[in-house]
Amino acid sequence: MDLTDGLKAIGAGLAILAALGPGIGIGLMVQGGLQGIGRNPDAAGAIQTNMILGIVFAEAVAIYALVVALVIIFVL
């Protein structure tokens, strides 16, 4: 092991730390969606559709962070 391996590990860890934001965002989206459905059950279909779409986009950011971490570890 040398310095470059240690720096790769630190860089990959920081990249995975970026997945913290989407995790919090998904939790807040689900909370808001459930509150909206609780207040207006008739609009549950539209709220659920938009909530799932937002979750997918937030999860994509987390997947990008994972890909960056894997590239740092295995390619660079």
Give 10-24 as a DSSP string.
HHHHHHHHTTHHHHH
6-47 pLDDT, tens digit per residue, is 899 999 999 888 888 898 999 999 999 999 999 999 999 999
Give residue 19's pLDDT: 85
52-63 pLDDT, tens digit per residue, is 999 999 999 889
Give residue 1's pLDDT: 72
- How far is 4 from 9, CA to CA, in rounded Å? 9
Domain that holds residue 43: 8-74
The count of domains in the chain is 1
Query: Is residue 2 included in any domain, yes or no?
Result: no
Residue 19's CATH number: 1.20.20.10
Amino acid at 26: I
First to last CA, the chain: 15
Amino acid at 6: G
Query: Is residue 3 included in any domain, yes or no?
Result: no
Enter the DSSP assignment of 42. G
Query: Is residue 1 included in any domain, yes or no?
Result: no
pTM for this prediction: 0.77
Do residues 47 and 36 make contact, with C-beta atoms less than 8 angstroms apart?
A: yes
